[in-house]
A = this chain, B = another copy of it.
Amino acid sequence: MARPKPQAATLASPDDTETQFYEALQQGDLEKLMAVWADDDEIACVHPGGPRVIGAAAIRASFESMFSNGRIDAHPEKIRRVVSHTVAVHNLLERIQVMTDEGPRWGWVIATNVYVKTAQGWRMVAHHASPGTPSEMQEATAPASVLH
């Protein structure tokens, strides 16, 4: 079946771009996924527990490999934002449904997503994801103890 070309994306805000990124993961849509990335040789991607992946060709290959095992049911939650006119840095928790022998289970990933404003809209320049645990739901936002 011929694959439809991805629609021209608006990417009018960092949140728009982030929405498209996670929709693409959930849909296993490689073209839609790659359309959110900036056109820069040094864009960087780190999958949970994996090596770093640099550049569009390598990033495409890494997601193509992941999608060959199925779609990725990842949902961004608890987004913390540092935003200026030209850059947005989002730290968030990805809630991911994974299939196990005992049926579907939810897991957590901590991710940092960085978006920059370009002539083509807000584009992703970095995605760094690392394994979380249930305790990550209790993020540290204040000193937990006084050490001295």
Contacts and interface: CB of A to CB of B under 8 A. Distances in A.
Which secondary structure dominates chain A's binding surface? mixed
Contacts of A93: 52
Interface residues of A, number: 54
Interface in A99-148: 110, 112, 114, 116, 125-126, 128, 130-133, 135-136, 138-145, 147-148
B89 A114 contact: yes
A7 interface: no
A141 B54 contact: yes
Contacts of A65: 145, 147
Contacts of A91: 42, 44, 46, 52, 54, 126, 128
A64 interface: yes
A81 interface: yes
A82 B44 CA distance: 9
Contacts of A125: 82, 89
11 contacts: A42-B80, A42-B81, A51-B140, A52-B110, A53-B140, A58-B140, A61-B143, A61-B147, A85-B86, A110-B128, A112-B112
